[in-house]
Amino acid sequence: MRTFRLVIACPDRVGIVAKVSNFLATYNGWITEASHHSDNQNGWFFMRHEIRADSLPFDLAGFRQAFAPIAQEFSMDWRVTDSAQKKRVVLMASRESHCLADLLHRWHSNELDCEIPCVISNHDDLRSMVEWHGIAFEHVPVDPQNKQAAFAEVSRLVEASQADAIVLARYMQILPPQLCQAFAKRVINIHHSFLPSFVGAKPYHQASLRGVKLIGATCHYVTEELDAGPIIEQDVARVTHRDSIEDMVRLGKDVEKRVLARGLRLHLEDRVLVHDNKTVLFD
């Protein structure tokens, strides 16, 4: 069913739900899903509604125009999207294939409702797998002595792809600040630890040295601060003293795949609201 997804964050006060509900009722809007959350600590209110598109008398542009006065009245940070307009997602990876292969499989099986215009990689190892899916593979090597040139090409490819989002599916390079800023809240990364524990490189090695009993993975939005962006999704796997680093890597890969796929799906369905450095998920 084609729906319009209305997502709102604003200072909390009396009358928000009533005003939005009355607006939709006035135009005969048929609500198929409604979610609300009031953050009493910070005084903010969050809302997500799905409305049947065929129940409304206007298109997306008409919805935005009609709703704008209410958004202004309540100082809303808001957006409305059309479920029929698939988001365009550029995937980025290096040599490890497990996260990329999982996303491509889910996309091929119609589990992820998006378009993938291309995959960008700093190595050529995964070309055949990507091209088997009929997706363009862009090899952009990164010279450690001149990373700026590579990321200028990455930026050009992302812009040419008209990307709505970027997913770092084990892309083992740090994005430059300008790309993080240009795609704020739209660059999704998978980090192979349960953040904020074990940031940076080789987290499984760090976890083994620390003797942890749980390892995990974290899907988060990328910011200029390494591995510190708003967290979208996390999960864990239990380990023991018997597990080697290689065992942890093997177990962790399964967690990484699940967490990244869930996080991307939440993003594609406009179920993630970011406020400060935290997220509200209407799953």
Question: For residue 77, what are the β-bridge partners?
Answer: 9
Whether 193 shows a pLDDT value over 90: the answer reads: no
Is 3-82 assigned to CATH 3.30.70.260?
yes
In the block, residue with structure tokens 């974290």: 218
Contact in structure between 151 and 179 (CB atoms under 8 Å): yes
Q: Which residues, 6 or more positions from 176, have their beta carbon under 8 angstroms from its beta carbon?
A: 147, 148, 151
- Mean predicted lDDT score pLDDT of the chain: 95
Active site residue 227: yes
Are β-strands 118-121 and 87-93 bridged in parallel, bridged antiparallel, or unpaired? parallel
Q: What is the pLDDT of residue 111?
A: 96
Reference 76, options 269, 252, 273, 258; nearest CA is 273
Please tell me the distance from the alpha carbon of residue 222 to that of residue 195, in angstroms, as a whole number.
13
Q: Where are the domains of the chain?
A: 3-82, 87-281
235: pLDDT strictly greater than 90: yes
3-state secondary structure of 88: strand
Of 102, 164, 227, 270, catalytic: 227
pLDDT above 70 covers a percentage of the chain that reads 100
Query: Which residue intervals of the chain are DSSP H helices?
Result: 16-26, 60-73, 98-108, 127-132, 147-160, 177-182, 203-210, 245-268
Q: How far apart are CA 121 and CA 139, in angstroms?
A: 5
Q: Which of 11-15, 52-56, 95-99, 204-208 has the lowest mean pLDDT?
A: 204-208
Residue 198 has pLDDT above 90, yes or no: no
CATH number of 87-281: 3.40.50.170
Residue with tokens 């450095």: 277
